[in-house]
């Protein structure tokens, strides 16, 4: 018999009286076995040590670990932070978002692109959670680094399908990032010095074995290093990012525990004294764990989330432009877990969220004359209740079934517009409007979201799994660029914008080989999407009071095959993943009203990650990726007018060509410092090369004239230009320490 703990470590196991050997295991930590004699209900808490030398240990157990086969989860990947830290990365810095892009079904549109795409979805269809609080922009430095400090992260879990009823609000995936609680035994410090930024974390007990904390910070210094080389006009330039992560917890008694965590980070870009912009996230989470009985566990979460950006330019106060936008969330989320028996776990709860949108607060000053061109705020309320049950039916079948009821209310204070009909692809004119008072309902939506998963255990090492889930998403990211930018606009569902809906089914085959040394999984999926936002040609997306008249509504479909092979043991280990997929859209008024590939469509996606540890001090790793180029739209003909070329798309086709294939190899070598008995200081040097063979992977391709305007009668030539964000190999070295 067995049981899995929830995200907070609570578990319940009901077994007859007697003497048992209990085995406790967790990814990335040493397995511990305890002998227990049961004659009454007991509470047993166990602390596991980090498996820092797991690749050189020999562990003999009665049964091998086979959670990937035996549990009900499918379309789910979990990475512990120790594995992530071993992967080669850009400039030697541990990177969580880039790590999950090596998993099947996960991709990006190119280097420098913000966020990630899951099974053909856009980046706004991923719910990124940091200790339960949503993070709206998960990237620093335009996508090269993520906002998550690896020194403060415990583990990362990605749901791509079979999403339980307790999660909602996004169509494609849930990325659940959990932070460390802090060392409750002793003071511990760790950090690193790299070419781009340095980091430091401190964790220690406040009251030993009862309360602890962790504080982790990072700061880049590109601008500091570049300052001596800048011209006078750029001497005041700013180019940096920083973040601060903190968490504390207090074990009140055996039945109550509270957690308080927070994150604050910002990117700053300034070009001399006259222009610049910045953006950042801020979150705060308060959680209370309470044990009502040996079988009923509750978690109450309160969180605050803030994402904002600012743009400003101008020579002086009489000639300037300032623009800022923001999205604020306030939420309460009670959740309950009831362990009916070892074969039946019931979960139920709900969530309420208040949204405060500021689409754009813009003020321009020209020769001292002030013009306010900003937009009014928007407000919304989102709620949801759910119930789900995980149940064993006999020895071979396990099911998880649940239902989520979601609710969304677009409310005042504000003005709501109605638009007249127009031919497909043409801007719709305003027909009327109405003003609403604070909290007055403008438009409400309700959706039932059923969820179901099943696992059939064919043999002890083989299983079949299937899942279905319906998801509703009430927030929309307004962006018509290939890679979303920090200044894209978030907007709620309104009386003119319906919530997005997705239905996904998946079927998987899972098998382990050679006593679980090798893990293999194969999944096929099909996902249909409704009420997707698209745009008319020449849509005006920024600071447009009548934006909803420029939007089109379409539907989509995504389907594919995902394969993954993983080797867990030995000096040489790692994993390989391959995805064969299609993602398509259908929008009235676009592409002749026919299906076309979405901008996230990538037919083939192959990644191979290897780790090699020949001895106690040296370790090596590598990444290789090969991805089909993303679709783009090229002109099909051109006009020449007075010596200028005007490109033209004769058939209004969308995404009619693909940019060349993307491929890259990264290498890394790590040298651990010598370990001496009684010495707490641990250190390591990390040497890495990103893009080893200097592949100039195209981010985009555009066309331009080879000369300026020519005289009448002369031939006008054009050329295609391939833009590569990174075109050469990038070596790096970093130093990490811990004591």
Contact status, residue 633 vs residue 649, Cβ threshold 8 Å? yes
H-only helix segments in 549-651 = none
Query: What is the model's pLDDT at position 47?
Result: 79
- Per-residue pLDDT, 56: 39
Dist. CA 20–CA 37, nearest whole Å: 6
Q: Taking residues 499-507, report their average pLDDT.
A: 97
Q: Round to whole Å and give the CA distance between 678 and 576.
A: 39
Taking the C-alpha atoms of residue 335 and residue 345, their distance in angstroms, rounded to an integer, is 13
pLDDT digits (tens, 9 = 90+) for 74-122: 889 888 788 888 888 887 788 888 889 999 999 988 887 778 999 989 9
At 80, which helix (H) or strand (E)? strand 76-80
DSSP class of residue 676 equals -
Q: How far is CA 57 from CA 30, 309, 516, 544, 571, in A?
A: 10, 49, 16, 62, 11
**Bigger pLDDT: 664 vs 645:** 664
Confidence band of 430 (pLDDT split at 50, 70, 90) = very high
Position 7 pLDDT exceeds 90: no
pLDDT tens-digit profile of 686-701? 999 999 999 999 888 8
User: Does the bond joining 687 to the residue before it have cis omega, within 30 degrees of 0?
Assistant: no
pLDDT at position 618, please? 93
- What pLDDT digit, counting tens, does each position of 137-177 carry? 988 887 788 899 989 998 899 999 999 999 999 999 999 99
Q: What is the pLDDT of residues 256-313, one digit of tens each?
A: 999 999 999 998 888 767 788 899 999 999 999 999 998 999 999 999 999 999 988 8
Rounded to the nearest 10°, the torsion over CA 711, 712, 715, 721 is 60
What's the Cα-to-Cα distance from 335 to each of 166, 214, 305, rounded to whole Å?
8, 25, 19
pLDDT digits (tens, 9 = 90+) for 396-410: 999 999 999 999 999
Question: Residue 546 pairs with which residues in a beta bridge?
Answer: none
Q: How far is the C-alpha of 7 from the C-alpha of 297, rounded, in Å?
A: 12
Name the pLDDT band for 63 (thresholds 50, 70, 90): very low
Q: Which of 738, 596, 737 is nearest to 194 (CA)?
A: 737
Is the pLDDT at 59 greater than 70, yes or no?
no
Position 96 scores a pLDDT of 87
The domain locations on the chain are 18-66, 76-738
**Token code pair at residue 76:** 């789910």
- Name beta bridge partners: 700: 723
pLDDT recorded at residue 397: 95
- Report the distance separating Cα 174 and Cα 164, nearest Å: 10
Q: Point out the least confidently predicted range of 235-239, 621-625, 694-698, 731-735.
A: 235-239
What 3-state DSSP class applies to 738?
strand
Provide the pLDDT confidence category of residue 61 given band limits of 50, 70 and 90: very low
In angstroms, the Cα distances linking 430 to 300, 374, 427, 442, 542 are 44, 19, 10, 17, 18
Using a 10 angstrom Cβ sphere, with 0-12 exposed, 13-18 middle and 19 or more buried, the burial of residue 514 is exposed
Three-state secondary structure string covering 629-650: CCEECCCCEEEEECCEEEEECC
Helix residue ranges per DSSP H, 487-534: none
Rounded Cα gap, residues 22 and 36, in angstroms: 7
Mean pLDDT for the stretch of residues 507-514: 94
The top-scoring range by mean pLDDT among 92-106, 338-352, 537-551 is 338-352
320 secondary structure, DSSP code = E
CATH of domain 76-738: 2.40.170.20
Helix, strand, coil % over all residues of the chain, rounded to 5: 5, 55, 35
pLDDT at 355 over 50: yes
In 292-343, DSSP assigns E strands to 296-316, 319-341
Determine the pLDDT at residue 235. Answer: 58
pLDDT at 642: 74
Q: Find the range with the poorest average confidence among 161-170, 229-238, 495-504, 682-691.
A: 229-238
pLDDT band at 616 (very low <50, low <70, confident <90, very high): confident
- The distance from CA 575 to its chain's CA centroid, rounded to whole angstroms, is 21
Residue 226 parent element (H or E): helix 222-226
Instruction: State the pLDDT confidence band at 12, using cuts at 50, 70 and 90.
Output: confident
Instruction: Please classify residue 137 by burial: count the beta carbons closer than 10 Å to its beta carbon, then call 0-12 exposed, 13-18 middle and 19+ buried.
Output: buried
Taking CA 575 as the corner, what is the angle to CA 572 and CA 580, rounded to the nearest 5 degrees? Answer: 150
Higher pLDDT: 77 or 231? It is: 77
CA atoms within 13 A on the CB side of 623: 22
Residue-wise pLDDT for 367-380, tens only, equals 888 888 889 999 99
pLDDT of residue 70: 82
pLDDT at residue 677 greater than cutoff 90: no
- Asked if 210 contacts 223 with a C-beta cutoff of 8 angstroms, the reply is no
Question: Residue 223 gets which letter from DSSP?
Answer: H
What's the mean per-residue pLDDT of the chain?
A: 88
Digit-coded pLDDT (tens) for 203-226: 999 999 899 999 999 998 876 666
How would you label 623-654 residue by residue, b for 16+ Cβ within 10 Å and e otherwise?
bbbebbbbbbebbeeeeeeeeebeeeeeeebb
Q: What percent of the chain has pLDDT over 90?
A: 54
| Contact yes or no for 518/564 (Cβ under 8 A) | no
Residue 506 reports pLDDT greater than 80: yes
| Collapsed DSSP state (helix, strand, coil) of residue 292 | coil
At 299 the three-state DSSP class reads strand
Whole-angstrom distance, CA of residue 631 vs CA of residue 600: 8
pLDDT at 60: 44
- 173-179 and 126-130 strand pairing: parallel
Residue 190: CB partners within 8 Å, gap ≥ 6? 151, 200, 201, 736, 737, 738, 739
Residue with token string 């079949």:
464
């Amino acid at each position: 018999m067995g049981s899995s703990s929830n995200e907070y470590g609570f578990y319940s196991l009901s077994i007859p009286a007697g003497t048992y050997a209990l085995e406790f295991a967790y990814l990335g930590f040493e397995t511990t076995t305890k002998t227990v004699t049961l004659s009454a209900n007991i509470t047993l808490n166990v602390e596991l040590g980090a498996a820092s030398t797991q690749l050189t240990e020999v562990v003999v157990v009665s049964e091998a670990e086979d959670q990937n086969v035996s549990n009900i989860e499918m379309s789910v990947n979990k990475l512990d932070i120790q594995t992530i830290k071993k992967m080669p990365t850009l400039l030697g810095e541990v990177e969580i978002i880039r790590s999950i892009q090596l998993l099947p079904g996960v991709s990006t549109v190119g280097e420098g692109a913000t966020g990630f795409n899951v099974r053909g979805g856009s980046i706004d269809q991923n719910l990124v959670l940091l200790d339960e609080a949503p993070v709206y922009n998960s990237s620093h430095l335009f996508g090269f680094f993520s906002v998550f400090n690896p020194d403060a992260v415990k583990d990362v879990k990605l749901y791509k399908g079979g999403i339980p009823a307790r999660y909602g609000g996004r169509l494609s995936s849930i990325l659940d990032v959990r932070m460390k609680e802090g060392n409750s035994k002793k003071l511990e410090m760790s950090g690193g010095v790299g070419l781009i930024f340095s980091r430091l974390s401190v964790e220690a007990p406040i009251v030993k074995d009862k309360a602890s904390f962790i504080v982790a910070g990072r700061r880049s210094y590109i601008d500091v290093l570049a300052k001596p080389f800048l011209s006078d006009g750029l001497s005041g330039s700013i180019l940096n990012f920083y973040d601060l992560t903190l968490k504390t917890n207090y074990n009140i008694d055996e039945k109550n525990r509270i957690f308080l965590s927070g994150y604050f980070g910002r990117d700053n870009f300034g070009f001399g004294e006259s222009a610049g912009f910045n953006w950042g996230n801020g979150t705060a989470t308060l959680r209370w764990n309470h044990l009502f009985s040996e079988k009923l566990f509750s978690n109450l979460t309160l969180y605050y989330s803030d994402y904002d950006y600012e743009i400003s330019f101008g020579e002086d106060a009489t000639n300037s432009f300032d623009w800022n936008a923001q999205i604020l969330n306030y939420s309460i989320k009670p959740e309950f877990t009831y362990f009916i028996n070892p074969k039946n776990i019931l979960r139920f709860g709900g969530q309420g969220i208040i949204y405060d949108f500021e689409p754009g607060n813009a003020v321009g000053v020209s020769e001292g004359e002030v013009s306010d061109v900003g937009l009014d705020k928007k407000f919304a309320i989102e709620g949801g209740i759910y119930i789900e049950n995980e149940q064993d039916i006999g020895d071979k079948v396990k099911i998880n079934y649940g239902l989520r009821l979601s609710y969304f209310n677009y409310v005042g204070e504000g003005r709501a517009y109605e638009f007249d009909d127009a031919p497909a692809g043409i801007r719709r004119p305003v027909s009327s409007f109405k003003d609403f008072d604070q909290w007055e309902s403008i438009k409400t939506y309700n959706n039932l979201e059923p969820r179901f998963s099943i696992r059939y255990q064919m043999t002890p090492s083989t299983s079949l799994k299937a899942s279905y889930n319906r998801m509703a998403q009430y927030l929309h990211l307004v962006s018509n660029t290939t890679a979303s930018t920090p200044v894209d606009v978030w907007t709620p569902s309104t009386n003119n914008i319906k919530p997005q809906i997705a239905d996904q089914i998946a079927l998987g085959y899972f098998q382990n080989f050679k006593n679980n040394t090798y893990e293999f999984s194969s999944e096929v999926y099909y996902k249909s999407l409704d009420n997707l936002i698209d745009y008319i040609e020449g849509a005006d997306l920024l600071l447009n009071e009548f934006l909803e008249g420029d939007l089109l509504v379409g539907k989509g479909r995504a389907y594919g095959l995902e394969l993954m092979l993983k080797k867990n043991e030995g000096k040489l280990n790692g994993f390989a993943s391959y995805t064969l997929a299609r993602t398509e859209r259908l929008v009235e008024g676009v592409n002749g009203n026919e299906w076309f590939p979405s901008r996230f469509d990538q037919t083939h996606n192959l990644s191979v990650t290897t780790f090699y540890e020949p001895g106690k001090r040296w370790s090596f790793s590598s990444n290789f990726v090969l991805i089909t180029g993303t679709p783009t739209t090229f002109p099909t003909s051109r006009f020449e007018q007075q010596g200028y070329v005007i490109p033209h798309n004769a058939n209004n086709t969308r995404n009619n060509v693909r940019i060349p294939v993307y491929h890259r190899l990264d290498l890394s070598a790590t040298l651990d410092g010598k370990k001496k008995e009684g010495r707490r200081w641990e250190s390591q040097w990390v040497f890495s090369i990103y893009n080893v063979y200097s592949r100039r992977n195209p981010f985009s391709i555009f066309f331009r004239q080879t000369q300026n305007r020519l005289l009448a009668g002369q031939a006008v030539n054009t050329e295609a230009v391939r833009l590569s964000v990174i075109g050469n190999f990038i070596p790096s070295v970093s130093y990490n320490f811990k004591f």
